[in-house]
Amino acid sequence: MKVLVVEDDEKLSGFIRKGLVAEGFIVDLCNHGDEGYTLASTRSYDAIVLDIMLPGRDGLSILRNLRDKSIETPVILLTARGSLNERLEGLNLGADDYMAKPFFVEELAARLRVVTRRSGEEGKSILSNGNVSLNLLTHETRVGDSVVELTSREFALLSYLIRSPGRTYSRAQICEHVWNYHFDPATNIVDVYIQKLRKKLDDGSKGSLIETVRGVGYRARRESP
């Protein structure tokens, strides 16, 4: 599940990302309302965690503008204030849930799963490419009719790649989104995990779903179901 977190408190946003990544989420962070609106309105996310008090556009303005553009991505609002009027305004604008600070990140993860499950039909929770399919709610991975057991990190890596088949990601991009740290040129962790995935996904019928782009990185091959 790919989540956008818009929160101007860098310590809190880092805490949220660390906790959500540990729960198996892919997380994009930004600390400014204008950037948050741009990301939310131009990129595809399964859910958005949106602070109300932000520099630039505030969270309620972002939410209002998203709904005006018929962008129905589930939104959980965060605020340090717990007034009833603010909560009602957010819900009336189309927020799916509301959490007051401080909170436990495990509860946030649980609420994200609930609003995502509630937001639409099951088809939106399935990523597929060729004979490989991933259920973003249950974390079940299938190759054809067979269930393949993936670790949470393998699942995060595979879902990151097949969201945009044909798009090449550098090792640095993969490290940032899947492992949540800056790329160390001396590490081969990305290559190791790619090889693990290839072994688990290879059913012997065709070449690897994950292709190497020499000198650049990796991509998921674009295939028809």
Query: Where in the chain are the domains?
Result: 2-119, 124-220
pLDDT, one tens digit per residue, over 70-90 is 888 899 998 876 666 777 788
Tokens describing residue 97: 């849930």
Tokens describing residue 220: 């998921």
The residue that leads in pLDDT, 37 or 42, is 37
Residue 102, preceding bond cis, omega within 30 degrees?
yes
Pairwise CA distance, residues 52 & 59, whole Å: 4
**Per-residue model confidence (pLDDT) at position 129:** 86
Q: What is the mean pLDDT of the chain?
A: 85
Calculate what percentage of the chain has a pLDDT beyond 90: 41
pTM comes to 0.58
- Render 58-113 in DSSP notation, one character per residue: -HHHHHHHHHHTT----EEEEES---HHHHHHHHHHT-SEEEESS--HHHHHHHHH
Res. 203 pLDDT band, cuts 50 70 90: low
Is residue 179 within 8 A of residue 165, CB to CB? The reply is no
Mean pLDDT calculated for residue range 82-101: 80
Contacts of 14 (CB under 8 A, 6+ apart): 29
Q: Which residues of 49-79 are buried (b: 16+ CB within 10 A; e: fewer)?
A: bbbbebeebebbebbbebeeeebebbbbbbb
pLDDT, one tens digit per residue, over 138-184 is 889 999 889 999 998 899 899 889 887 888 888 888 887 787 666 67
Res. 8 pLDDT band, cuts 50 70 90: very high
Task: Please say if the pLDDT value at position 123 is more than 50.
Answer: no
Fold of 124-220: Arc Repressor Mutant, subunit A (1.10.10)
Res. 121 pLDDT band, cuts 50 70 90: very low
Query: Within its chain, how far is the Cα of 107 from the centroid?
Result: 17
Domain at 2-119: CATH architecture: 3-Layer(aba) Sandwich (3.40)
**Per-residue model confidence (pLDDT) at position 181:** 64
Is residue 79 within 8 A of residue 86, CB to CB? The reply is yes
Dihedral sign for Cα 200, 202, 208, 209, please: negative
Same fold, 2-119 and 124-220: no
The residue that leads in pLDDT, 164 or 26, is 26
